[in-house]
Structure 1
Amino acid sequence: MADVAGMADMADMAAMNHFGMTLRGWRERMSPQDSGLTVGGERRISGLRREELAGLAGISVDYVMLLEQGRARNPSVQVVTALARALRLDPSERDHLFRCAGLVPPSVGKVSREIPLSARRLVRQLGDVPAAVFAADWTILGWNGMWTAAIGDPRAYGWDERSLVAGTFPASGSRGPAPIAAWPIRPGKGIEAQEEDLVADLRVTAAAHPHDARLASLVERILRSNPRFARLWSNGTVGPYAGDHVTIEHPLVGDIALDIDTLIPAGTDLRILTCATAAETTATEKLAALRASCPPPRDGLTHPDPETSDQG
């Protein structure tokens, strides 16, 4: 009976310290390289040390130890948020950590503008393919070096609030070259169809995030300022953006025919746009020429805010 009671006590302790066990497990799986740290010499563990996580999260090492051991309970929203950011948790993991702490997870009504580690890894795995990461409301969040080489630096696009939707439907209502780039892009399916696809995708996001004030404000503002957007928004078409075959009027290498594909990483509602060429074509040769001129590292992500750039 004593053994049974002891096992029950251990089970109760484990349940009570679910936050600490989860925190330690995710700390030990997180490599210093993925967290942006530069380390040297031999290490006894492959993951982060407590002091490294504490430094990344801006809390004390002692507090991290107390949390992992279950001797500190009820961490604040600010602490859990800092830990989730330091561990680069995806939205589902972040919400789980909040629940383990007995806290209400961040509102699912808001569009996430965080790029989790899994999405960063996916962009790295794409290698030399031009790629850019967008939130579900088409706010651009990051891009790799080849995206800049092929389509221009998004910081020079002039989009209101870094939004592709706002860039596509400017306040003037005028239609110029497709504004996804610093130079003109000719959509294979035509500008009208491209615009309709983008609005149909945005409508899905708006329905899924009805309490996102930023998104609601964006839609309302463009409805008032751009008749084309208002007409497309009112037609009710709904569907995911599937990409297109486009021609980029590149100022250095001339026209490049590219296939724009959309990837949605598991556990997120991000949109990763990638650019590919058909094998053994002049477009492949032109993209290779741009790749050769692209300064390393080509697989890191640049962000609109340079302080959050990920070159790791």
Structure 2
Amino acid sequence: MARTSLGEALMTWRAAVAPGDVGLPGNGARRTPGLRREELAQLAGISADYLTRLEQGRAANPSAQVVEALARTLQLTDNERSHLYQLAGLAAPGPDRIPRTISPGVQRMLDRLNDTPVAVFDAMLTELHANPLYVELMGNRTGNERNAAWRNFLGTAGRIRQTPESLGLLQELQVADLRRTAGRYPNDPNLHALIDELRRRSGRFDHLWESGPVAEHQATQKIIDHPRAGAITLDCDVLHVAGDDLRIMVYTAEPGSGDADKLTLLSVVHS
């Protein structure tokens, strides 16, 4: 199978990323260095089959969303990221686009929180990274479900227990957040596409968008209905990364509580 420049580059970059660099266990000796295809695909939110076809030259013209997810997961530098876009036949996003890169400093901090469910979202509320315990707690999200606003207006019910009142407040917060983001990044095409779809398909979103809610995310307590551990009550805090416009969502349990024990059990089971 004749490989393309895009496929060769993806394989080279994949081989250069150690599992520990992205929060995965090393699992002992490996036949080849770096990430396995299945690991990269899962972290980037694409299918392993599609990644295989990209690397083998049997697929071409990946979308900007796929390229950005691969660049982020592979921890490419700005120059490498631009080169990846060029190999994919796309123009690299400019400074007026929403940042979707996790800095090495933030990644190192995330790597030290293996016993805490943590996820990182960009300014349009798309999940960029979730550590293994967060995935175990919330489930693996792919495609449109990786965007929190899309999920809460158009997607399927997740594991977080919601009342009509709590869901309504969450939707108001997310619309307000997206409104502020639209003001900062008026030329981001992915953001425009998301807002257009939500306004077209959700009367609730369109109403909130027109009414212009003003709200800020605050610390909240959430109940997660886990399929094996049962109900777990956790505190949810959203931290903002200055300059990168990222949101880090952290879930913690009260020390010494039964919820803390359940979280510890999930961490042990997953490790």
Q: Is 2:145–2:151's contact at 8 Å kept on the other side of the alignment?
A: no
Distance 1:189 1:291, change over 3 A: farther
> Contact 1:88/1:117 (CA < 8 Å) preserved in 2?
no
In our comparison, the structure showing a higher alpha carbon Rg is 1
**How far does the alpha carbon of each residue in 1:104-150 deviate from its partner, in whole angstroms, 9 at most, with x for none?**
x9622211222221221121132311011111101111110100121
Change (3 A) 1:230 1:116: same
Question: How many residues are aligned here?
Answer: 194
| Structure 2 counterpart SS, 1:168 | helix
Q: CA deviation at 1:218?
A: 1.1
- 2:144 aligned residue: 160
CA distance in 1, matches of 2:128, 2:216: 19
1:262-282: per-residue Cα shift (whole Å, max 9, x none)? 112232101111111111111
| Distance (Å, rounded) in 2 between the aligned partners of 1:293 and 1:237 | 42
Q: Does 1:36 align with 2:17?
A: yes
* Residue from 82, 95, 106 that aligns with 1:108: 95
Determine if contact 2:120/2:127 at 8 Å carries over to the other structure: yes
**Alignment equivalent of 1:146, drawn from 129, 133, 139:** 133
Residue 235 of structure 1: aligned partner: 211
Instruction: Judge conservation of contact 2:160–2:222 (CA < 8 Å) in 1.
Output: no
Match of 1:78 in 2: none
Deviations 1:161-211 (A, max 9, x none): 73211111118xxxx7xx4x4x34336971111111111111111110000
**TM-score of the pair, normalised by structure 1:** 0.55
**Which residue in the other structure is 1:288 paired with?**
264
Q: How many angstroms apart in 2 are the aligned matches of 1:189 and 1:125?
A: 35
Q: 1:249 to 1:169 in 2, by over 3 A?
A: same
How do residues 71-220 of structure 1 correspond to structure 2 at under 5 angstroms? 107-155=94-142, 160=144, 162-170=146-154, 179=157, 181=158, 183-186=159-162, 190-220=166-196
Q: Which moved more, 1:118-127 or 1:198-207?
A: 118-127
Shift in Å at residue 88 of structure 1? 5.3
Q: Percent identity?
A: 31
CA distance in 2: counterparts of 1:87 and 1:273, whole angstroms: 20
Distance in 1, Cα, partners of 2:259 & 2:165: 19
Cα deviation, residue 285, structure 1: 0.8
RMSD: 3.0
**Structure 1 284/87 Cα, relative in aligned 2: closer, same or farther at 3 Å?**
closer
Gaps spanning 5+ residues in structure 1: where?
1-34, 39-83, 95-104, 296-312
Contact 2:122 2:245 in 1 (8 A): yes
- The answer for unaligned runs of 5 or more in structure 2 is 1-15, 20-70, 82-91
